[in-house]
Amino acid sequence: MSSANRTTEVVVCLKWVFQADEPSDARFAGMSPADHAALELALQWATHIGGQVTAITVGPAQADAVLREALACGATRAVRIDTANGVSSADVASAIASVARHAAWVWCGDYSIDNGSGSVPGYLAAALQASQALGVLGVTFESGSIVATRRVDGGRREVLDVQAPAVISVEGATARLRRASLTAMRAAASAPIEVVAPSIVMRTSEHIAHTYRPRARALASPTGAEALDRVRSLTAAGTSSAAHEVETLEPADAAARIVQTLREWGYL
């Protein structure tokens, strides 16, 4: 990938997953609906900007099935990062980023159907230092940019003007995957798939999965002459339970302030 075509480099990330009720049966394995939608939009967007689509998956050899589906539908290049199933989201994202580091547009499914948390696209945007539009419900193609409608809390919608480089994760209902032509299907069955070793040691999510707990907070010895006062200062009993501060700051300062407060409260 040369830097000349960087703005037209489109990547779609696809995950080969088992159905929830058929957890080890490859006959029922494949892409989730969200990945289907991502593939379709990646293909449409590539046509729109005159680019080509590279499909990337992370998984074992059986995961080639989703890449062949992508090739049959119109992707021009397929890369599988060879790992076992069940790698942590952060490591999946780093591995994809090492292959897709020149990509201008990265499309992902919102989350996979096997307990997916939708975290890979976020990690990926961070690793690629790209902007992100996650949980997208609908897109409009402009010349050189994408207007994405995003689901936010409380039934609200957020409309984003997405510029390259960007990671866009879409919900399953955003697009219906086209039907591959018979000729393309036959060609895809024997098309080459680039298999690359992961650039980092991949940790499975089992190794790092645990319930989130705030770390222990170091407290100074309580002060106060009476035992009651010392207990009160330790437990904050009698003070307001809703700790909040209102400050008006520039975004960068606000982010720094939030991080600092979370540190003080022991959450980071």
Partner 1 sequence: MNENVNENVNDCDVIVVGGGPAGSCAAIVAARAGLSVVLLERGPFPGSKNMYGGVVYPRILDELIPNWWEEAPIQRWVTRRSTMLLTDTQALTVDFRTEAWGKAPYNGATAYRPDFDHWLASHAEAAGAQLLTSTTVTGLLRDDKGVVVGVTTDRPDGDLRARVVIACDGVNSFLAKQAGLYTHTDVKHFTLGVKETLALPKEVIDERFGVRGREGVDIEIIGCTGGVNGGGFVYTNLDTVAVGVVLKIAKLAGQALRPEQIIATLKAHPAIAPLIEGGEVKEYSAHVIPEAGLAMMPKMISDGMLVAGDAAALCLAAGIWLEGVNFAMASGMYAGEAAVEAVRAGDVSAQGLRGYQRRLSDTFVLQDHRKLRRAPELVLSDRVQHLYPQMVANVVERMFRIDNPQPKPGLRRILKQERKRAGIRRRDLIRDGLTGFRSYG
Our CB check for partner 1 shows the closer of 48 and 178 to be: 178
Our CB check for partner 1 shows the closer of 181 and 235 to be: 181
Our CB check for partner 1 shows the closer of 137 and 187 to be: 187
- The answer to whether 15 and 28 have CB atoms below 8 angstroms apart is no
Q: Which residues is 169 bridged to in the sheet? A: 108
User: Min. distance of Cβ 31 from partner 1 in angstroms?
Assistant: 13
User: Min. distance of Cβ 190 from partner 1 in angstroms?
Assistant: 9
Site for partner 1 in 47-66 (CB under 8 A): none
State the DSSP string of 234-254: HHTTTS-S---------HHHH
- The answer to whether 202 and 87 have CB atoms below 8 angstroms apart is yes
Burial class (CB in 10 A: 0-12, 13-18, 19+), 165: buried
User: Min. distance of Cβ 185 from partner 1 in angstroms?
Assistant: 6
CB contact set of 32 (below 8 Å; sequence gap of 6+): 15, 17, 109, 111, 112, 113, 116, 172
CB contact set of 226 (below 8 Å; sequence gap of 6+): none
Our CB check for partner 1 shows the closer of 182 and 216 to be: 182
Inter-axis angle of helices 89-99 and 120-128, to 10 degrees?
40
Distances (CA, A) of 186 to 16, 54, 73, 191: 20, 19, 11, 9
Q: Are strands 131-141 and 166-170 parallel, antiparallel or unpaired?
A: parallel
For 101, the token pair is 């580091």
The kind and range of the H/E element at 200 are none
Residue found by looking up tokens 């990938």 in the block: 1
User: Min. distance of Cβ 187 from partner 1 in angstroms?
Assistant: 11
Our CB check for partner 1 shows the closer of 147 and 184 to be: 184
User: Min. distance of Cβ 28 from partner 1 in angstroms?
Assistant: 8
User: Min. distance of Cβ 32 from partner 1 in angstroms?
Assistant: 15
Site string for partner 1, 9-28 (x = CB under 8 A): ------------------x-
Our CB check for partner 1 shows the closer of 101 and 176 to be: 176
Site for partner 1 in 166-225 (CB under 8 A): 179-186, 189
Q: How many chain residues touch partner 1 (CB under 8 A)?
A: 10
User: Min. distance of Cβ 193 from partner 1 in angstroms?
Assistant: 17
Our CB check for partner 1 shows the closer of 157 and 186 to be: 186
Q: Which residues bind partner 1 (CB under 8 A)?
A: 27, 179-186, 189
